[in-house]
């Protein structure tokens, strides 16, 4: 037993030495097997910094009308088709005026009959004015005369409606523009009451197109009329169209999500034929621009105790340097002081 203990102690020491050696070797291996991470840097340069407000929106037309008839009748003439250009006050469609004239004559005859009944009801009771309380009449007699008055008034209204329908039997375009829809109208068909509400002739003046942007209330104070902008349309990826802020809304519009937007109109300069009402897109409004200023990526800017600084390479070591910033864009920032042209600043690694 006494011989076994010294042997065990010697083996334990040997095992301990081997484990320590393995640990050191593993540490060295892991250290030198890691790839060298190269410090990413950017060079401070002078350039142009642009600050933008970005807002989504839609192409709309200031002059766009939907023409429809006010009464059901037979369509006897349709003078336009899709794509046609029309002038202001040009006739585009006509209903059967003969049928409408007959309706008007019938309403006039009905009116004459109601007028006769009304006058007879008053004559029977020797009533000559509208002040029925000045006459000795029973309640039943008053109701008879009042009912005759109501019926007469209704017949007058029917005549006015029929006369208006006759006058509106011809549709005229109040604007110049292009016909974009004729509502499946077919000459010779009888338009039903449902047809006159659904079958319309739409005319759009494409020279009055504009982009209506929904500017966030957070950006409202940064936009002004006359500012330049670029419009990108979802349907034309990669293309931008120059525009100018023409009008800024005077009230906030609350969205279903609770955010508040201000509707802002931008005119396209010049107009592009490919753009049509209803297209969605995005406006990039230039709110500020500075030329020949020091610019660095926003991601290189660090903040500590309400101060901004960057890490500048001095030789092979980074040195923290406080900076003063100016104009801020979406991904870049102006440096007013603290850096010089050509300085190498470190881009913080994403952990």
Which structure tokens are listed for 146?
């009042």
CA 152/CA 157 separation, integer angstroms: 9
E strand map for the chain = 41-43, 45-61, 64-67, 75-78, 85-86, 91-95, 170-172, 177-181, 201-204, 209-216, 228-233, 241-254, 260-268, 280-297, 302-304, 307-314, 317-328, 332-337, 344-346
Backbone φ, ψ for residue 305 (5° rounding): 55, 50
CA triple 196-197-201, angle to 5 deg: 75
CA 190/CA 75 separation, integer angstroms: 6
Q: Is the peptide bond before 270 cis (omega within 30 degrees of 0)?
A: yes
Average pLDDT value over all residues in the chain: 87
CA-closest candidate to residue 237, choices 267, 282, 284 = 282
Q: Angle, nearest 10°, between helix axes 97-124 and 139-167? A: 160
Query: Radius of gyration over alpha carbons of the chain, in Å?
Result: 41
Task: Please determine, looking at this structure, whether the domain spanning 41-49+291-346 carries the CATH number 2.40.420.20.
Answer: yes
Domain ranges for the chain: 1-34, 41-49+291-346, 97-168
**Residue 42: C-alpha distances to residues 298, 332, 337, 347 (Å):** 12, 12, 17, 7
pLDDT at 35: 44
Report the pLDDT averaged over residues 38-56.
90
Q: Give the tens place of pLDDT for each residue, 268-321.
A: 876 677 889 999 999 999 999 999 999 999 998 888 888 899 999 888 888 899
Q: Give the tens place of pLDDT for each residue, 141-194.
A: 888 878 988 998 999 999 998 888 888 899 999 999 999 999 899 999 999 999
Q: Is 152 strand, coil or helix?
A: helix
Q: Is 230 strand, coil or helix?
A: strand
Backbone φ, ψ for residue 261 (5° rounding): -125, 155
CA-closest candidate to residue 214, choices 329, 51, 58 = 58
E strand map for 98-256 = 170-172, 177-181, 201-204, 209-216, 228-233, 241-254
Which residues have CB under 8 Å from 111's CB, separation 6+? 152, 155, 156, 158, 159
Q: Give the tens place of pLDDT for each residue, 116-138.
A: 988 888 888 788 787 877 777 78
- Contact 181/207 with Cβ under 8 angstroms? no
What global pTM score does this model have?
0.69
């Amino acid at each position: 037993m006494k011989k076994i203990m010294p042997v065990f102690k010697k083996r334990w020491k040997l095992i301990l030495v081997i484990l320590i050696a393995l640990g050191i070797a593993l540490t060295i291996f892991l250290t030198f097997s890691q790839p060298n991470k190269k410090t990413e840097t950017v060079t401070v340069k002078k350039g142009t910094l642009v600050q933008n407000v970005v807002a989504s929106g839609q192409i709309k037309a200031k002059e766009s009308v939907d023409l429809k008839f006010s009464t059901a009748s037979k369509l006897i003439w349709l003078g336009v088709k899709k794509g046609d250009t029309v002038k202001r006050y040009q006739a585009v469609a006509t209903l059967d005026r003969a049928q409408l004239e007959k309706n008007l004559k019938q309403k006039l005859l009905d009116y004459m009959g109601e007028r006769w009944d009304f006058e007879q009801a008053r004559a029977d009771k020797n009533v000559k004015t509208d002040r029925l309380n000045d006459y000795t009449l029973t309640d039943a007699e008053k109701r008879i005369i009042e009912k005759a008055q109501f019926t007469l008034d209704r017949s007058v209204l029917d005549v006015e409606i029929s006369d208006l329908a006759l006058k509106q039997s011809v549709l005229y375009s109040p604007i110049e523009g292009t016909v974009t829809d004729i509502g499946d109208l077919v000459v010779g068909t009888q338009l039903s009451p449902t047809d006159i509400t659904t079958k319309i002739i739409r005319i759009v003046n494409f020279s009055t197109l504009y982009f209506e942007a929904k500017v966030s209330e957070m950006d409202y104070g940064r936009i002004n009329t006359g500012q330049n902008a670029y419009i990108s349309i979802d349907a034309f990826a990669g293309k931008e169209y120059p525009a100018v802020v023409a009008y800024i809304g005077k009230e906030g519009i609350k969205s279903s999500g609770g955010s508040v937007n201000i509707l802002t109109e931008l005119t396209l300069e010049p107009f592009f034929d490919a753009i049509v009402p209803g297209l969605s897109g995005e406006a990039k409004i230039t709110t500020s621009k500075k030329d020949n200023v020091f610019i660095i990526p926003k991601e290189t800017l660090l903040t500590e105790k309400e101060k901004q600084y960057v890490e500048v390479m001095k030789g092979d070591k980074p040195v923290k340097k406080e900076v003063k910033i100016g104009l801020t864009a979406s991904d870049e920032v102006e440096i007013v002081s603290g850096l010089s042209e050509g300085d190498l600043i470190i881009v913080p690694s994403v952990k």
